Amino acid sequence: MRRLLCLAALCACALAALAQPSRFSVLTYNTENAFDTIPSAAYDDAEYTPQGERRWTRWRYMRKLGRLAQVVLAADTVHPVDVAVLQEVESDSVVADLLRRTPLASVPYEYVLAEQGDARGIRVAILYSPLTFSLLEHRCLRVAEAADPTRDVVVATGRLASGDTLDVYGVHLPSRLGGAAASGLRRKVLALVQGDLDSVARHRQNHLAVVAGDMNADAGDSGIGRLCGACGLTNLTKGLPGGSYKYRGRWSWIDQMLVSAPLLQQNASIRLLNLPFLQENDDTYGGRKPFRTYLGPIFHGGYSDHLPVVMSFSY
């Protein structure tokens, strides 16, 4: 009788778990110069080579990858994060080493990588679990005929376990610094994202979309605001205290998550992954700051100059 009661209790727990909605999580993280050690003839990566200014050795490179793997694994305590949007990744070899030569090898992640980076070669990568995000296609959005190369926006379209289709836009916008040329380039990248979102929305009734990445501007930026207004997006980081990036003692949300209305209706929420090991004391301005890989030209051994941001929703 006792065994039957235990079995009934277990069945009840299992049914209750099945009745609960599943959660899907997306991480965005600027990795702070995840370069390999191999010099490239196609772009200027000399700084991050064994002979370069940073003395970027194989040991430092593998330590960096181990740190990044620790962050991805810590992003969700229930199960591995479903999608991770990583900025400042140099090459396929970096992502392949991250997924095969670190503890992330235990998770069946696959990835897509932007085809074009900036003048230093850094690009955006999207890691995804094929168990929860079945990739249907990916594409790159690129500003044509730019005087200086800028980072592609990489878009991954996948099917969720619910049968819904989700578009993930991995973004690393140009900096607002650099004058009129940089501002114009920034507007062109935002226009590309808007055009693609509009095109997809016309052909899909329930448009699930998240635009994730380093926007190089705080959440109140007018360009980001115009994109949200034109495409019906909500910036989940706008109005939140604190931030993901600290500059001269001031925190700001330059790492952002913009979600479409259907995701907002599916209880989309956001949190900062401000785990203690990702930060250190700020002796100059007080409080805490991100634990960086480099302080100027000096190897510091940390994680990144940004903190990760995690968004999740129910389905």
Q: How far apart are CA 43 and CA 59, in angstroms?
A: 23
What is the number of alpha carbons within 13 Å of residue 66 lying toward its C-beta? 8
81-99 tens-digit pLDDT: 999 999 999 999 999 999 9
The pLDDT value recorded for residue 146 is: 64
Mean pLDDT value of segment 299-304? 97
Mean pLDDT value of segment 242-256? 97
The pLDDT of residue 254 is above 90: yes
Per-chain mean pLDDT for the chain: 91
266-296 tens-digit pLDDT: 999 999 999 999 999 999 999 999 999 999 9
The pLDDT of residue 18 is above 50: no
For 88, 110, 222, 253, the CA distances from 214, given in Å and listed in that order, are 10, 22, 15, 9
Domains of the chain: 22-310 (3.60.10.10)
DSSP 69-130: HHHHHHS-SSS--SEEEEEEE--HHHHHHHHHSSGGGGS--EEEE-S---TT--EEEEEE-T
Which residue has tokens 């995804």? 128
The pLDDT value recorded for residue 78 is: 86
248 Cβ neighbours under 8 A, 6+ residues apart = 285
169-204 tens-digit pLDDT: 999 999 877 665 677 888 999 999 999 999 999 988
The pLDDT of residue 149 is above 90: no
249 Cβ neighbours under 8 A, 6+ residues apart = 282, 284, 285, 286
Mean pLDDT value of segment 213-232? 96
- Per DSSP, the three-state class of 33 is strand
Residue 205 banded pLDDT, cuts 50, 70, 90: confident
Q: Are 113 and 89 in contact (CB under 8 A)?
A: yes
